[in-house]
Amino acid sequence: MQPEKIRDTSYTQNRELSWLKFDLRVLEEAEDRSVPLLERLKFVSIFTSNLDEFFMVRVGSLFDMSVMSPKTIDNKSGLTPMGQLERIYAEIPGLVARRDTIYAQVMAELAEKGVRDLQISELEPHEKKYVNQYYKAKVLPVLSPQIVDERHPFPHLINKQLYIASNLHGKRERAPLGLIPLPDVLPRFIQMPEDPCRYIRLETLLLSRADSLYGSFKPSESCVLCVTRNADISFDDDKFDDIDDDYRTKVSKLLKKRSQLGIMRLELEGDPSQEFVRLLCSRIKVENHQVYTCHAPLCLKYVYPLVSALPDEVSAPMSFVPYNPRHPASIDPKGSMIEQIKARDRLLFFPYDSVDPFLRLLSEAAEDPDVVSIRITIYRLASSSKIAHILCRAAENGKEVTALMELRARFDEANNISWSRLLEDSGCRVIYGIEDFKCHSKLCLITMRHGDALSYITQVGTGNYNEKTNKMYTDLTYMTARREIGEDATAFFQNMLVSNLRGEYSTLLVSPEGIKRRLLELMDEQIALGQNGYICIKANSMTEREVIDKLSECSRAGVEVQLILRGICCMRPGIPGKTENIHVTSIVGRYLEHARIYCFGRGDDAKLFISSADLMTRNLVRRVEVACPIYSPELRKCLLWILEKHLADNVKASSLLADGTYKRKSGEPPFSSQDYFMEHPLPLDQFVPAPKGSPASEAKPEKHEGFWSRLFGFLKK
């Protein structure tokens, strides 16, 4: 057995602690007074839901590791799973306290504007009457209060379900515990009929009625509680050894297990006594360090429905000015999308550009008699997906439609199961990816036949086929008629159908085999240039140790490295002799930065790719991802323009410091890249248009794999 390699951790940091710093940057947006007030409240909600998922997934995973592999060492921090958990549990209370303070500030400012979260004592007489009637008519009939004592066992607490817990007293010597689950069928808040800006939360109302729900028992004190359970379900095949059902059924069964996994956190809203907290800990079976007492609501998902329910004249001045994605001026809204892409490569930049050109492309392909097939990878779809309905229509029109559907997209499994059934019912061929490797790539291939010849339209994206998130996430969609890319996309889908992860490609980089290897080679090319070398990578996160070490090697060679990483960064820049030439920027703002761009070199010599893959071990080693080179001179300049504007941001950007903390950038004049992109479209008209004729004539593809050998091998089969 090989001894574990000793890693240098002097310029790296723990993934989980880096993620907590990211969520802190989200929370700082709620603190920023330049952000409209209701948007600040939304950022508090986003912070809270992010932290919920962190406990469900990351803390849950570490807990499992601490039991199964307690001596495993994190290669970025040298910590064991338990050591990481100890650091996490020590870090969280400060974040929660800061969240509570910011929430109180935001709510106080909203109260000044007339938007008030009321206590029972603050209701006017006519409002009390209305709330009493509402309670009797709609709330009381669906309540299920229960007593926990020697004869009544402690119930299973559902993950993130709110409960009213009461310490009861009566004639018995040993007082029982009372629990009231908040009914899911009821809205989380009740607006006052004469002033909808005044509302009371459902849990506030139930707290005031707890003393009337337990018969002869009366609460000595009550609080709101919820538990966060481990939701890190493993999809390892050994879980299915004794199950005969198809893959979709297996995933459905695993979803039911999610609510029954171990408790990672107990949250209590209010000021419960230490005695009551000890009672709850003993009954729920959690340790003291897993208990968090909060003054903000435990679940802030009601914030978005609340903002939507406020009168427009109240909410509009306290919200972002609505932004309608523009239709790209370079695309004729009435012309054939297929013909326009044949003439020139196209690029869409969401959410600033409308998704409509891509939807038109799919719709046209669904009806075009020359189109013989549409193949697409699907990771997440909108709940009311236009894209899925177009694919169904294409299949009903006789097109061969193949959807590589990833059922293991965390927290979207149920939605994807529903869509997979609808697609199959419409005649689409649905396949479920490769065992042990999630398919996270964003690839769509339209194949056309003209006589005996085939031609292709290929779309490669950095984000999901989801019209809802297209309006909230920054992403890129590239559409091309280049034959070499279409042939690679054809090979990709053929490889996925036979579970071949080792396919060879002429232009596309495909993980788990191709992306990391090529990225390391491209870094070596820049190392050879020394101080003339340049790397700029925009992604969500970076955790892959081999990539981090190679970037450190780049820095030691004098290469300038600019990383634009919104979330996790396990490298610490600015460490003398190791990372002093590396600069890390994080942008957190109105839109979630999601596009991935890889740039190696400067100007015309730069090698540019867009990708679905972050610089994370899971993306580069354990998932099927695609990175696509961009050859079009005008689109290459667009990508460089995007990177340049991000690096110039001094409003929503923060710099990662050598100690692992972040510092907000500043400067004059203030410049927000997201605000700039809303006002300035991709400057395609500034660039020399691509020459007419074959799209592939603009630039020669980078031949890093043997395409023709692969093709002849396939034909022989």
Residue 573, CA atoms < 13 Å, CB-side half-sphere: 23
Spatial CA neighbour of 444 closest among 374, 392, 390, 385? 374
Distance CA(429)–CA(407), nearest Å, equals: 15
Contacts of residue 94, defined as CB under 8 A and 6 or more positions apart, other chains included, come to: none
Residue environment code for 56-74, b if the CB has 16+ CB neighbours within 10 A, otherwise e = bbbbbbbbbbbeeeeeebb
13 and 650 in contact (C-beta within 8 Å)? no
- Of the residues 169, 289, 440, 704, only one is catalytic, namely 440
Distance CA(469)–CA(443), nearest Å, equals: 17
Structure tokens belonging to residue 484: 């070499």
Please give the full DSSP string across 107-144, using - where no structure is assigned. HHHHHHTT-EE--GGG--HHHHHHHHHHIIIIIGGG--
Q: Is 156 a catalytic residue?
A: no
The CA distances from residue 273 to 99, 221, 464, in Å, are 22, 8, 47
Structure tokens belonging to residue 248: 């979709």
Residue type, 683: P
Please provide residue 580's backbone torsions phi and psi, each rounded to the nearest 5 degrees: -70, -20
Spatial CA neighbour of 415 closest among 365, 348, 465, 373? 465
Distance CA(204)–CA(81), nearest Å, equals: 38
If DSSP codes are grouped into helix, strand and coil, which group holds residue 93? helix
If DSSP codes are grouped into helix, strand and coil, which group holds residue 74? coil
- Quote the radius of gyration of the chain (alpha carbons, Å): 28
Please provide residue 208's backbone torsions phi and psi, each rounded to the nearest 5 degrees: -75, -15
Contacts of residue 401, defined as CB under 8 A and 6 or more positions apart, other chains included, come to: 373, 374, 375, 376, 391, 394, 395, 423, 427, 428, 429
Distance CA(199)–CA(192), nearest Å, equals: 6
Q: What is the 3-state secondary structure (H, E, C) of 200-211?
A: EEHHHHHHHHHH
Q: How many residues does the chain have?
A: 717
State the residue for tokens 């001094």.
650
Bond from prior residue into 351 cis (ω within 30 degrees of 0): yes
Please give the full DSSP string across 470-528, using - where no structure is assigned. GGTEEEEEEEE--HHHHHHHHHHHHHHHTT-S----SS-EEETTSHHHHHHHHHHHHHH
Catalytic positions, written as ranges? 440
